[in-house]
Amino acid sequence: MQLDLAAVRVAAAAFPKPEAFKPSYGTAGFRAEASLLPSTVFRCGMLIGLKARSCGQACGVMVTASHNPEQDNGLKLVEASGEMLEPAWEAHATQLAQADTAEQLLQVLAALAATLQPADTPGRVIIGRDTRSSGADLAAACSAGVAAVGGKVSDIGVVTTPELHFTVQTFNQYQALEEQAYFTNLLESFRTLTAGSHAPQQPLHVDCANGVGALKLQQLVPQLQQLGLQLQLYNAGQGRLNHGCGADYVQKEQCFPAGMGDLPAGACCASIDGDADRVVFFTKGQDGSFVLLDGDKIAALAAVYLRRLLSHAPPGTADSISTGVVQTAYANGASTRFITEQLGLQVRCTNTGVKYLHHEAKAFDVGIYFESNGHGTVLLKPSLLQRLQDMDENMSVMQLLAVSRLMNQAVGDAISGLLLCDAVLRSGTSLAEWQALYTDLPSRQLKLVVADRTVITTTDAERRCVTPAGLQDAIDAAVAKYDLGRAFARPSGTEDAVRVYAEAGSQEAADALAREVAGIVFDRCGGVGSRP
């Protein structure tokens, strides 16, 4: 593929890279303080522009830092399939973003372009952004990058991350960019899933993290009310993005988000994150305690529901369909035992990051994955969908097909997750019964800064450390002191830190084990600041 490198040089000069800034494409793309990112976003615009031109289809860029503080921003790159960027191109993105001089940048870009051939049909890059004040300027930088390599741009403005993925996917099928298609798909699928349900349903109270999800849910409130779902929205834009609210805050801190502590016991509540690709549920116990229903609980509820639908499909259907749940090391051990021992389903463990879970889930006819943080979806193989479409219609078959339409087949979607869980609760599973599927082992997560997080390498889906030498032995010795103990340490994929997870038979023991493992990591890996 031929490029006008002189024009690229001129365009790139408007977006100089800050000195010593070395961004890397992590498990969720690039993230940093927003003022550092114009050069990175411009260069990724060039990258995704080349990809779009080479495949002759639309690709995507979402400008967001998800659950990070408002002053941060970032971007996620999207394939023509609507799925996340393929790993081989992540390395190209990092190389481009880290090039220190114009000569290095042009050299990396020209080398990549030389491996590509332009398609017969023109490509396009669809750009979306969340509600951060820095988003519009960064989207403009991305557009400039796409234009510098001869690509076309469609900027669709403020959208959720899953909406951007959906739009890329549907544009390549139908050549349409109307937002209403996303809403119609959600509403009609939800209508099918709740058809015939007469169970009285309490309102669903939703913490919107003061993010883009609030804007989209506000548009859906009237239509959902007609379908029997009353949404009450909180943190809907009045406060700071992700500050004291949002799915990440609720799941990590295990406490009520701002403005929702006074709800009555037993209220059904959910929290989404800043770009609306994560959701967790919670309620208040009769004693006023905070009760979390995290991504593990959502996966279990979805598995129970899908197994029920399959059992009511035409005879023999369920026997010929593989159904599995994909988890990470962060999944609570009680959830794994419930899925394998009570439901009899396969469980596979992958590295942290939805790109790994998504890939593994595609191996099943019905693949369910939700990280503990609430990021996930339900995938149905195209071959299974064709089989279902060819069957005689019955309600279970129609609802299985509706699940595949409701649950984003490219990426996790908080709004989809909200609606699926509400539909299941209407189908005969109460909130109390959902809570009682299994009892989580008490757990604790800690984060600590070390001199170099890369000194820790892992194996066994990040559950065991390979380096530095002796670290895993020390962790094993600590775990052995605690009843039902389990712990691991892994380098963060999104920030310069090490994450520690521990669970045990009591909360006091889990907290103590987490602190002990964090202390081990601090001592052996050059901890910065105060020892945990």
The residues carrying an active-site annotation are: 66
| Token output for 32 | 């940093």
Q: Is 18 annotated as a binding residue?
A: no
Residue 453's Cβ-side half-sphere holds a number of Cα atoms within 13 Å equal to: 15
Q: Is 371 annotated as a binding residue?
A: yes
Give the count of beta carbons closer than 10 Å to the beta carbon of residue 383. Answer: 9
Q: How far is CA 316 from CA 47, 164, 190, 312, in A?
A: 48, 38, 27, 10
Cβ within 8 Å of residue 329, ≥6 positions away: 349, 352, 461, 462, 463, 488, 490, 501
Q: Is 491 annotated as a binding residue?
A: yes
CA 329 – CA 95 distance, rounded (Å): 30
Q: Is 335 annotated as a binding residue?
A: no
Four-residue CA torsion sign, 28, 32, 33, 39: negative
CA 305 – CA 324 distance, rounded (Å): 13
Q: Is 499 annotated as a binding residue?
A: yes
Q: Is 45 annotated as a binding residue?
A: no
Task: Detail the DSSP E strand segments found in 97-227.
Answer: 124-129, 152-158, 204-207
Q: Is 271 annotated as a binding residue?
A: no
Q: Are 231 and 259 in contact (CB under 8 A)?
A: no
Could you give the 3-state DSSP secondary structure of residue 148?
helix
Q: Is 383 annotated as a binding residue?
A: no
Q: Is 360 annotated as a binding residue?
A: no
Residue 29 is given by DSSP the state B
Q: Is 373 annotated as a binding residue?
A: yes
CA 201 – CA 6 distance, rounded (Å): 62
Closest CA to 97 of 155, 153, 31: 31
Q: How far is CA 262 from CA 230, 266, 289, 290, in A?
A: 19, 12, 11, 11
Q: Are 449 and 529 in contact (CB under 8 A)?
A: yes
Q: Are 310 and 319 in contact (CB under 8 A)?
A: no
Give the count of beta carbons closer than 10 Å to the beta carbon of residue 172. Answer: 19
Beta bridge partners of 488: 501
Q: Is 277 annotated as a binding residue?
A: yes
CA 316 – CA 314 distance, rounded (Å): 6
CA 374 – CA 298 distance, rounded (Å): 8
Known binding-site residues equal 66, 273, 275, 277, 371-373, 490-494, 499
Known binding-site residues for Mg(2+) equal 66, 273, 275, 277
Known binding-site residues for substrate equal 371-373, 490-494, 499
